[in-house]
Amino acid sequence: MKHLLNYLMFVLLAMSFVGCQKDNIVAIDPIETDDGEDLIANTVFTQTVGVAFSTNGNATVTGTNDDFTVTVNGNDVTIIYAGEEYVMYELSGTANDGFFKLYSAKKQGITLNGVSITNPNGAAINVQGTQAEPSKGKRTFIVLKGENTLADGANYTDTPSTEDEKAAMFGEGQFIFSGEGSLNVAAMGKSGIVSDDYVHFISGTITINVSSSATVNGSDTLKPACVKGKDYVRMTGGALSLTSTGTGGKGISSDGNGYFNGGMVNVTVTGSNFGSNGGGGGQGGWGNNSSDGVLAKGLKFDGNLIFKGSKVMVNCTAHEGIEAKGTLSVSDGEVYSHSQSDDAINSGGNLTISGGLVCAYSQGNDGLDANGNCYIKGGVVYAISASSPEVAIDANTEGGYKLYLTGGTLVAIGGLESGSSLSQSCYSASSWSQNTWYGLTVGSTTYAFKTPASGGTPLVVSGGSTPVLQSDVNVSSGTECFEGLFYTDAAVSGGNSVSLSSYSGGNGGGGGPGGGGHGPF
């Protein structure tokens, strides 16, 4: 009986662990537990296979042996690897109608060395597991050398019924990007880069344009994105420039977590929302419960979202700019999100800012919106709501949560959630003007910010000491942030003193916006 009880306890614990992993909400942070497996220098490739595409004939494959089964039909190249070595595949040349498809049970590398591949009928690069188990993919290192281009077609007509093929560059295993070159991806049929495991960007310059739109085909709904990682998406270096123009498209999407610990990301999503509940963002037309709804968002993670050092810039037309279904935290780096229709930054759980630079600018809902508690402990925060009666910073007071302000420097146009816990004193301006440069001095540090063309009231400021606010200033120097809306370490001159009064929360108060102002430099 004792052994039986011990066994049952073990099974219950195992089931609990699997459940947590499946949810992708409670997960080990790979940034904190990195064992170096994603560094290409820690893998020894003992064999190199060359694939040279040709515009005048068949592609050529060199460097193979009996462990490889190679099929070449024009520029359609399929390689089945059954060996035990770690192989580096080097792709070069141009294919206007071709692809590179790999089946392998081992981790491998793919060097893109000045290659251009367009596949009118599916993915340009497709990395599967074995033919018997295509979904059992392994780690694939993508090394960028020179300028490279990948493009898919509008219709994926060559995809086997037993396999996935979700993007112009698709892999069943992990994708890890490095190198000093560049990659341009144009996706017309599905997404740009997708891994059914995780995606990690370490270095290189990657530009992705996705024009495909969300569609429903039976029980399968196409949800296009520039980048998708089923497990998580991680960025520790490099530069991403992502543009999605199709209906229901996204910049970066994941069923799990997001980690931004270096590098630069620029996301533009201009497509409208897709589905039967069509309408505008957070103004009542759209909910997240539509059975066939696909919402056009900048960054969307079903798990947690962690910013620890990247520069992330997001502009989104139809829905939220940045969303985490779990928790969201910023401790370093620069995060800017602008939404024309919904929350600029939204967290399904707690939202915590302890450092870094954060700007959340919404023209249709809240600037910062937490469905749990919102904690501002440090850093610099510029939050804007241009949609009354929404607020610049919102917490889920209906659910018993609230905003806790204990540190940092804050500028909030549109006010703070009523019932906030403000351990650090806040002040509201007697009035504010549209499109005007303001100087905010906290202690020995001066910031400059430009107000939007519209917004709610009041304008609220807070800092580690009593702030001094001036309107209509000239900005002569400083470090530019948030697409030119804000400067740190600013030098300002001229202007008019703005009267400040104590503020405890709510979006009533100071006079409405007017106009005027002087741009920087």
- Give residue-wise pLDDT tens across range 33-58: 676 899 999 999 999 999 999 998 89
Q: What is the pLDDT of residue 37?
A: 92
Lookup: tokens for 345: 């930054």
**Over 50: is that where the pLDDT of 288 sits?**
no
**Over 70: is that where the pLDDT of 289 sits?**
no
Lookup: tokens for 181: 């070159």
Q: What is the pLDDT of residue 393?
A: 96
Give rounded-to-5 percent helix, strand, coil for the chain. Answer: 5, 50, 45
Mean pLDDT value across the chain = 89
Is residue 386 a contact partner of residue 455, using CB atoms and an 8 Å limit?
yes
- Give residue-wise pLDDT tens across range 312-363: 999 999 999 999 999 999 999 999 999 999 999 999 999 999 999 999 999 9
Taking residues 407-434, report their average pLDDT.
95
Taking residues 145-165, report their average pLDDT.
91
Taking residues 5-12, report their average pLDDT.
40
Residues 6 or more apart in contact with residue 154 via CB below 8 angstroms: 120, 188, 189, 212
Q: What is the pLDDT of residue 16?
A: 41
How many residues in total does the chain contain? 521
Percent of the chain with pLDDT over 70: 88
* Among 126-135, 269-278, 296-305, the range of highest mean pLDDT: 296-305
Nearest to 334 by CA among 315, 352, 359, 317: 359
Which DSSP string do the residues of 459-510 spell out, in sequence order? EEEE-SS--EEEES-EEEEEEEEGGGTEEEEEEEE--EE--EEEE-SBS--S
